[in-house]
Amino acid sequence: MPSISPQPATGRFPASRGNRPLIIPGLRWWIIALLFGAAVLNYVDRQTLSALAPTIQGDLGMDDRAYANVVNIFLVAYTVAYLISGRIADRLGTRAGMVLFVAWWSVANMLSAGVQGMRSMAVCRFALGLGEAGVWPAASKAVAEWFPARQRALAIGFYTMGATIGATLAPYIVIPLATYPYAESFPLIATWFGHGTGWRVAFMLTGAAGLLWLVPWLLLYRQPRDNRFLGADELELIEETAAGDAAKEAGNRWSWGQVFTFRGTWLLLLGRLITDPVWYFYQFWFAKYLSADRHLDQEQLKITWVVYAAAGVGSLLGGWLSGRLVTRGMAPARSRMWIMSGCAVLMPVSPFISLVTGLDLSMTLAACAVIASLAWLINLSSLVVDLVPKHSLGTVFSVVATGSTLGGIVMNMIVATMVTGPSTNPAGFLDQAIKSVFGGLLEQVQGHGYGQWFLIMAFLHPAAWLILWLGRIHKSSSPVTSSARP
């Protein structure tokens, strides 16, 4: 990390240490480090339930169907929140918006420590989903405010890597917290929490960590021109603005009508709807595939750390590569499409993951697919920042991101049908809705196993890239921005 040092006063900030303001060199990267930390906490909090599911289900008397309903309730809340959280961030600003979202989800996670059954757990997870979705549009606004175009994709890749690290760390954090002998070492805590002390403490402490995160965020985050810790040289770098970007920023915040009539909104939403299911599959189903088809036991499944490591590499590599193209003079949006084309070319390795005989080769191919998938996601997210003015970025990012969760929900249904066949349980409302749209497809893939899904994944990114290219996403222009604020 860069060091903190006093520099000559720039004339923009209140002075400290006499006439010399306290300047933090590389402050924009400290901001990204905070966003990285928020992403880690975001995924630790959401993974607390899944990491401790067997214990919690036993203590609360929840069967697998009840557990699945709780997970779906979280996803529904997450999807709904995506639609509105970006607008909230645009209205409140990045600083206040992030405070609201992190505080909301942290308190919701802490309240989970007091649940007594499936219904109260569902309420807490719904509240968690409402808060957690907001960090991503707010973070995208922070990148737009603090980074020139040539560094935005790398910045997005860095904080996105926090999500993969959070998912990796969650079991190693919450399981020790849940299994600690509180009755012996801290009998007062065991008395206070009662039955299920361990997992209740895990919810409480992981939620409290988010509230502690607010302290450095409130201390450091302001708009660049209002931030007394920012030096003049770094401000000049941040404000590198091409003529096209200056024109893009003109006008007032977009109305909902402008958001939904912007061609780029629908192209980018469709891109995430088609391709995000690949990453969701590796998060939720890949370990089950290794267990069912490769016959790995619980201990051997630790090898899935390779997937999350590959995701981190893809996040940084995708951002760095497109940033290099921008530095060499390529337009930002075009640079993202070039890198995404390379990712799409790599994805046809997917079917071989299930076809090769050796586990090592299979994991190597899976790592390549995950690197490509995350590099694609970083550049697709960067396109939103490139094309949309800062004043409406959160709103558009939120609408685009709903494609991600909708794609994930559909993928869950398709893969479940492939590997288990028809369900003997009554269909829930999500099942019925998906079957009404994809009923014919589900009948075709029913009971065919994981291999068919690996084959489908080979074509998702190439198809999405073709749609984006034919839709001329790299040449999309903003709608008229002269209308009054809604």
Q: pLDDT, tens digit, for every residue of 298-329?
A: 567 778 888 888 988 998 899 899 989 988 98
Under a CB-based contact definition with an 8 Å cutoff, are residues 318 and 379 in contact? yes
481 has pLDDT over 70: no
CB within 8 A of 54, min separation 6: which ones? none
* pLDDT band of 65, cuts 50, 70, 90: low
Name the packing angle between helices 149-179 and 135-146 (round to 10°).
Answer: 140
Same fold, 23-147+160-240 and 256-475: yes
pLDDT for res 269: 95
- Class of residue 208 by CB neighbours under 10 A (exposed 0-12, middle 13-18, buried 19+): middle
For 170-201, give one letter per residue: b (16+ CB within 10 A) or e: bbebbbebbebebeeeeeeebeebeebbbbbb
pLDDT for res 63: 76
Please compute the mean of the pLDDT values over residues 400-423 and round it to a whole number. Answer: 79
CATH numeric code, 256-475: 1.20.1250.20
pLDDT for res 15: 40
Residue 352 carries which side chain, given as an amino acid letter?
A: F
CB within 8 A of 398, min separation 6: which ones? 82, 83, 84, 85, 86, 87, 133, 137
pLDDT for res 5: 44
Residue 293 carries which side chain, given as an amino acid letter?
A: D
pLDDT for res 458: 96
Q: How far is the C-alpha of 392 from the C-alpha of 251, rounded, in Å?
A: 10
Ordered by start, the domain boundaries in the chain are 23-147+160-240, 256-475
Taking the alpha carbons of 307, 469, 480, 386 in that order, is the dihedral positive or negative?
Answer: positive
164 has pLDDT over 90: no
- In percent, the amount of the chain with pLDDT more than 90 equals 40
- In percent, the amount of the chain with pLDDT more than 70 equals 85
Class of domain 23-147+160-240 as given by CATH: mainly alpha
Please compute the mean of the pLDDT values over residues 440-464 and round it to a whole number. Answer: 84
* pLDDT band of 484, cuts 50, 70, 90: very low
Please compute the mean of the pLDDT values over residues 225-250 and round it to a whole number. Answer: 74
Least trusted range by pLDDT, from 67-76, 139-148, 431-440 = 431-440
Q: What is the pLDDT of residues 112-152, one digit of tens each?
A: 999 988 889 999 999 999 999 999 989 989 998 999 888 88
